[in-house]
């Protein structure tokens, strides 16, 4: 029985353990990071029982306060995935990092989806080449996933194009509820394949915008979006993987000077994304990236290119 086996939680019998496993709760962290409502509904147990199980799991994992040295140890486990552009990597502190949500927003053709496809390829590279030797999960909400483009980028990265496609789990989301369900299903993939190192959602807000129109639905939309982003962050923390999301922009007519574009999703997306990057198109294949929010890095701007072989300096 492994160290974080759920059978070790006091008060959990064989039947309850079986129910929890069927519902996707296979380790202590999964239970500790859950809420009593979610746990009771998933495993068909009472709210009080669920609360006790969560409390015990948290106690076993020592989820209270800890010295900052422990937080530093966790930070040392972080991996980084190259975008393909050294200057873009430098601006992001070494690449797209695990345990974080990186959001890139910009107008059509600014390179958001191209970076997403590139990351699905680059995550497969060995660590010494800027990858994590892992696989990718791609949730496609806008019909942007192109296998032939992945093959082209894989050739540019020196990876077997067929192998590159085999290492990407892709699903098309038809509406916001389906998108939320697909994010939940990533946990099922992780049970079979522990080598998934990045989740890409392109784009995170598109389905929510089309499903919830008008001011009256805004509160519902933001609540669901918030839950969706929390699910992605929880998976990133529990499994030490990276989350890359693209976001659309809207035009703000009240801005008279400067750039009138603003990212969709409001404060909820602004607070939930660890890194926020604004992309815009320049001449030809050039794109401009500006880091506008990060907990530890200064604001910065850099230029990269989108070439047939992929994202480059």
Is 138 in the same domain as 46? no
Is 19 in the same domain as 152? no
Helix 36-43 to helix 47-60 angle (10° resolution) is: 110
Confidence of residue 259 (pLDDT cuts 50, 70, 90): low
Q: What are the backbone dihedrals phi and psi of residue 261, each rounded to the nearest 5 degrees, phi first?
A: -85, 145
pTM: 0.83
Helix (H) / strand (E) containing 201: strand 196-202
Residue 73: partners with Cβ closer than 8 Å, 6 or more residues away: none
Percent residues over pLDDT 90 in the chain:
59
CATH number for the domain harbouring residue 56: 1.10.150.20
Is 29 in the same domain as 149? no
pLDDT surpasses 80 at 11: no
Instruction: Give me the helices (H) in 97-159, please.
Output: 112-122, 147-157
More confident residue, 216 or 260: 216
Determine the structural domain holding residue 169 and report its residue range: 75-312
Cα–Cα dist 206/228, whole Å = 13
Instruction: Provide the pLDDT for residue 63.
Output: 74
Instruction: Provide the pLDDT for residue 86.
Output: 97
Is 149 in the same domain as 205? yes
Whether residue 195 is contained in a domain is answered as yes
Instruction: Taking residues 8-34, report their average pLDDT.
Output: 82
pLDDT surpasses 50 at 254: yes
Is 53 in the same domain as 121? no
Q: How far apart are the first and last CA of the chain?
A: 49
Is 43 in the same domain as 93? no
More confident residue, 153 or 50: 153
Whether residue 66 is contained in a domain is answered as no
What is the domain count for the chain? 2
Instruction: Provide the pLDDT for residue 74.
Output: 85
Which of 30-34, 38-42, 221-225 shows the highest mean pLDDT? 221-225
Instruction: Provide the pLDDT for residue 121.
Output: 98
Is 49 in the same domain as 102? no
Is 203 in the same domain as 308? yes
More confident residue, 146 or 223: 146
pLDDT surpasses 60 at 2: no
pLDDT surpasses 50 at 242: yes
Is 308 in the same domain as 197? yes
Instruction: Provide the pLDDT for residue 175.
Output: 95
Whether residue 65 is contained in a domain is answered as no
Whether residue 67 is contained in a domain is answered as no
The tens digit of pLDDT for each residue in 55-97 reads: 998 888 877 788 899 888 888 999 999 999 999 999 999 999 9
The tens digit of pLDDT for each residue in 276-287 reads: 999 999 999 999
pLDDT surpasses 90 at 217: no
Q: Report how far apart, in Å, the C-alpha atoms of 114 and of each of 117, 133, 184, 198, 207 are.
A: 5, 20, 25, 15, 20
CATH number for the domain harbouring residue 261: 3.40.50.300
Is 121 in the same domain as 194? yes
Is 116 in the same domain as 21? no
Is 145 in the same domain as 292? yes
């Amino acid at each position: 029985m492994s160290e974080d086996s759920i059978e070790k939680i006091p008060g959990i019998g064989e039947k309850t353990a079986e129910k929890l496993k069927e519902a996707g709760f296979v380790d202590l962290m999964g239970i500790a990071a859950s809420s009593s409502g979610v746990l009771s509904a998933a495993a068909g147990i009472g709210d009080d029982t669920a609360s006790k199980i969560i409390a015990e799991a948290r106690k076993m994992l020592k989820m209270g306060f800890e010295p900052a040295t422990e937080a530093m140890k966790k930070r040392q486990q972080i991996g980084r995935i190259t975008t393909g552009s050294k200057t873009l990597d430098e601006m992001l502190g070494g690449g797209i990092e695990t345990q974080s949500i990186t959001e890139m927003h910009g107008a059509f053709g600014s390179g958001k989806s191209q970076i997403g496809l590139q990351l699905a390829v680059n995550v497969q590279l060995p660590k010494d080449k800027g990858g994590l030797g892992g696989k990718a999960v791609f949730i496609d909400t806008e019909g942007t996933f192109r296998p032939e483009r992945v093959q082209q980028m894989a050739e540019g990265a020196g990876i077997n194009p067929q192998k590159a496609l085999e290492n990407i789990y892709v699903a098309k989301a038809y509406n916001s509820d389906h998108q939320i369900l697909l994010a939940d299903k990533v946990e099922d993939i992780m049970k079979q394949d522990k080598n998934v190192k990045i989740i890409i959602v392109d784009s995170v807000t598109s389905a929510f915008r089309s499903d919830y129109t008008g001011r009256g639905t805004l509160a519902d939309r933001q609540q669901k979006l918030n839950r969706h982003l929390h699910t992605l962050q929880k998976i990133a923390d529990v499994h030490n993987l990276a989350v890359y999301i693209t976001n659309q922009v809207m035009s703000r007519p009240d801005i008279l000077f400067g750039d009138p574009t603003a990212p969709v999703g409001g404060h909820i997306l602004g607070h939930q994304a660890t890194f926020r990057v604004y992309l815009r198109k320049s001449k030809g294949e050039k794109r401009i990236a500006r880091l506008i929010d990060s907990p530890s890095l200064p604001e910065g701007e850099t230029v990269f290119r989108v070439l047939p072989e992929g994202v480059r300096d």
